[in-house]
Structure 1
Amino acid sequence: MEPVVVVGAGPVGLSAALGLRARGLPVTVLEADPEDRERPGSRALFVHRETLRLLDGMSPGLAAEITGYGRTWHTRRTLYRGREVYSRTFPPPSGPPPFTSLRQVDTERFLRGACARAGVEFVWGARVTGVRTCDEGVTLTGEDGRAWNAGYAVAADGARSAVRRELGIAMEGTRGEGFHVVVDVADVPGAELPLERVFHYEHPGVGGRSVMRVPFTGGFQVDLQCFDDDREEAYGTEDAVRRWLPSVVGDGYDGRILWVSTYRFLRKVAASFTDPHRRVLLAGEAAHLFPPFGARGMNSGIADAAAAAEAIAAGTAEAVDGFADVRRAAGLFNSEAAGIALGHLRPHRRIVRLRQRAAAALAPVLPSCGSWLEHAPYGPRHGAPAVAGGKY
């Protein structure tokens, strides 16, 4: 059997390696960082049920490991300018949970453990700088002169993918205005906040900026939506967060900050998910970049990884073409869905704000208005091309 090389040891690359090993293929993962790298921040929080099923198919028992550690909240709460407009508590599921919430570093820890058990080989400190494909396979070269020959490669090396760049594949899409601040905060022992997800439109404590709070194991994440003309140093530094955080979650947390980051909105999808020789398959952020609404990034990336492993195991150009067509269609759907959510969260048309204000006023007597305010920030879930095989 020809070996397969996976570039990138994030959750998508690790999932691709697991999917390939589940089909009996020898796999080497190349990662530019050293083995003892530190990965601060929650990054991707949610592993959805559909993703858990994919992972369990690659490594039986892995879903139980992840859900056993992660947290599943059962209450969704939405407020508008300090007043609750939606609240719903769901009973605990009788089967697998709809999602579990944990920091990405913990998800990667479980995936790496599964890879080790599956016999995946890792090469750390292997920064890829060259890619050459032909009808027979692919050769990847590193900055230190090392080379790896394989029948196929999966490029899961992130938004600045060196593999994609070397192949000359363009990213097509848009870059949005404004930025969000993401803060990871550790729980205060004995005084944990309620296990619920809270979205607050135009929070009065932060000057009308919208805020979301999401629990994860050991703490919670706060996402502050800044205005287009805000300066990052005024809201996105650790000192700045200490000033505004108490007005959002209460006193006692300004000293519990674990990580602060800012992000801007990119909606981009690769022009092709494979090279002309059908020997390299793009997955995850190497293939698409979405705003984080609806947890589409990592979950769609793991769906890419599962589909890539299936196509490589089939071993035909037709299978790789099928992968590229299906996953690009899914990427375009997710990009459009994230764009719809972005238009709701950062409305530039006055009519959208008026609709939100009217819905908030009517929510006490028309629950459907509150439900719309609850669901709109995540974009449409359904309507993905049927051939894509699911939400992602």
Structure 2
Amino acid sequence: MTPVVVVGAGPVGLSAALALRARGREVVLLEADPEDRARPGSRALFVHRETLALLDAMRPGLAGEITAYGQTWRTRRTLYRGREVYSRTHPPQAGPPPFTSLRQADTERFLRAACERAGVEFVWDARVRDVRTTASGVRLSCGDGREWSCAYAVAADGARSAVRDALGIAMEGERGEGFHVVVDVAHRPGPEPPPERIFHYEHPGAGGRSVMRVPFTGGFQVDLQCRDEDPEEEFGTERAVRRWLPGVVGEGYGERVLWVSTYRFLRKVAVSFTDPHRRVLLVGEAAHLFPPFGARGMNSGIADAAAAAEAVAGGTVGDFAEVRRSAALFNSAAAGAALDHLRPRRRIVRARQRAAAALAPVLPWCGSWLEHAPYGPRHGAPVNAGLKY
């Protein structure tokens, strides 16, 4: 019997496998896709300081590899209808950076290499179809007849988790209206623009839609907030992006587009993070789905992975399920607060935003509110949930 099987080779599954190896457990990692699968797009950009510390505990030196490649920008700017209402440049700090910014494909590249060095066994083209648990273990089956028996399984197989579905664990929450378009853009040849994160409320170059621009190593990401009535094909295709992108970032980037995607807001949390026999542990998007405000998705998923490895090693799966679900509920509520600010349904919220923008030159805290509100509360998670996530 295999001690532990991890399902899903995204950043959370790779982290779970790495954390289990750090605790001396033999691990088989099953991935539905082939080994040479393409992993386009930035998706999750930020690896926060707390997450870097978790990764370094799993594999000493890993955080340094990731931060050496990633980018840590120190300037944040917020604009409202073309006028700057907030700007701050943080001084350089000694010690680990508060975050590093790199495309998710690159984060996965570092994690996979670390897993290979740690002795994780990878099985590709292994799409799990059925999961059965007993008081003594788990049996996972693929559609081609292959089976694995293990003492524990960690389900990191994403938003459409086959493991979660096979166990009959429901997700509770809601789906938001409207959609965002996410575009990865490579830098043009020549001097790179200043590494700064810009949030622009009601950008005049985007027809009054809000836009966020975030740098990463080699380029930057643009996140366009579309209106509920916007046709997706007019904003979310590569051809459409080439039409509206110059109004947001200037000319010359149409041919530098690396990746285009759209997403809608899902705020859902699994009703349980484990099965009745406490043999399967749900982590990452198999357990919870958040809007991406505050970089809660991958970072909370890696915190799940670290906690899952600790629970398997210590036989405390019930504690894991309770603590990490509490953290997920907090993050879901915080993301909901951010969503209410970004897509306000009440006129009073828009009125407050306009008033804050008008008062920001004389009342700096108004600009600070406009800067921080889109990310939702960062503090107030249950103490035993672990830091922010």
Q: TM-score range by the shorter chain?
A: over 0.9
Q: What CA distance in whole angstroms lies between the structure 2 residues aligned with 1:382 and 1:2? A: 39
1:173 shift after superposition: 0.1
Q: Is the 8 A contact 2:29 2:123 kept in 1?
A: yes
Is residue 390 of structure 1 aligned with residue 370 of structure 2? no
| Residue in structure 2 matched with residue 282 of structure 1 by the alignment | 282
* 2:334 partner amino acid: A
- Once superposed, which parts of structure 1, at least 4 consecutive aligned residues long, lie more than 2 Å away? none
| CA distances 1:144-199 after superposition (whole Å, capped 9, x unpaired) | 10000100000000000000000000000000000000000000121422100000
Calculate the TM-score normalised by the size of structure 1. Answer: 0.99
| CA distances 1:92-147 after superposition (whole Å, capped 9, x unpaired) | 22110000000000000000010011000000000000100000000000011000
Q: Is the 8 A contact 2:178 2:264 kept in 1?
A: yes
3-state SS in 1 of match to 2:107: helix
| Residue in structure 1 matched with residue 79 of structure 2 by the alignment | 79
After TM superposition, the structure 1 = structure 2 runs for residues 2-151 of structure 1, keeping only pairs within 5 Å, are 3-151=3-151
Match of 2:346 among 343, 346, 349: 349
Q: What CA distance in whole angstroms lies between the structure 2 residues aligned with 1:170 and 1:72? A: 38
| Residue in structure 2 matched with residue 217 of structure 1 by the alignment | 217
3-state SS in 2 of match to 1:79: strand
Residues matched between the structures, number: 389
Q: What CA distance in whole angstroms lies between the structure 1 residues aligned with 2:260 and 2:383? A: 38
| Residue in structure 2 matched with residue 164 of structure 1 by the alignment | 164
| CA distances 1:55-82 after superposition (whole Å, capped 9, x unpaired) | 0000000000000000000000000000
After TM superposition, the structure 1 = structure 2 runs for residues 357-372 of structure 1, keeping only pairs within 5 Å, are 357-372=354-369
Q: What CA distance in whole angstroms lies between the structure 1 residues aligned with 2:248 and 2:170? A: 40
What root-mean-square deviation, in Å, do the aligned CA atoms of Structure 1 and Structure 2 show?
A: 0.7
After TM superposition, the structure 1 = structure 2 runs for residues 268-347 of structure 1, keeping only pairs within 5 Å, are 268-315=268-315, 319-347=316-344
Give the gaps of 5 or more residues in structure 1: none
Q: What CA distance in whole angstroms lies between the structure 2 residues aligned with 1:343 and 1:262? A: 19
| CA distances 1:335-390 after superposition (whole Å, capped 9, x unpaired) | 00000000000001000000000000000000000000000000000000111011
| Residue in structure 2 matched with residue 235 of structure 1 by the alignment | 235
Q: What CA distance in whole angstroms lies between the structure 2 residues aligned with 1:358 and 1:262? A: 31
| Residue in structure 1 matched with residue 226 of structure 2 by the alignment | 226
Q: What CA distance in whole angstroms lies between the structure 1 residues aligned with 2:283 and 2:325? A: 10
Q: Is the 8 A contact 2:2 2:148 kept in 1?
A: no
Give the gaps of 5 or more residues in structure 2: none
| CA distances 1:305-348 after superposition (whole Å, capped 9, x unpaired) | 00000000012xxx101000000000000000000000000001
1:2 shift after superposition: 5.4
1:202 shift after superposition: 0.2
Q: Is the 8 A contact 1:2 1:25 kept in 2?
A: no
3-state SS in 1 of match to 2:319: helix
Q: What CA distance in whole angstroms lies between the structure 2 residues aligned with 1:87 and 1:190? A: 26
Q: What CA distance in whole angstroms lies between the structure 2 residues aligned with 1:92 and 1:286? A: 37
3-state SS in 1 of match to 2:153: strand
1:275 shift after superposition: 0.1
Q: What CA distance in whole angstroms lies between the structure 2 residues aligned with 1:90 and 1:375? A: 15
Q: Is the 8 A contact 2:156 2:283 kept in 1?
A: yes
Q: Is the 8 A contact 1:42 1:184 kept in 2?
A: yes
Calculate the TM-score normalised by the size of structure 2. Answer: 0.99
Q: What CA distance in whole angstroms lies between the structure 2 residues aligned with 1:218 and 1:86? A: 26
Q: Is the 8 A contact 1:153 1:280 kept in 2?
A: yes
Q: What CA distance in whole angstroms lies between the structure 1 residues aligned with 2:166 and 2:339? A: 31
Larger mean CA deviation between 190-199 and 346-355 belongs to: 190-199
Q: Is the 8 A contact 1:211 1:224 kept in 2?
A: yes
After TM superposition, the structure 1 = structure 2 runs for residues 252-267 of structure 1, keeping only pairs within 5 Å, are 252-267=252-267
3-state SS in 2 of match to 1:244: helix
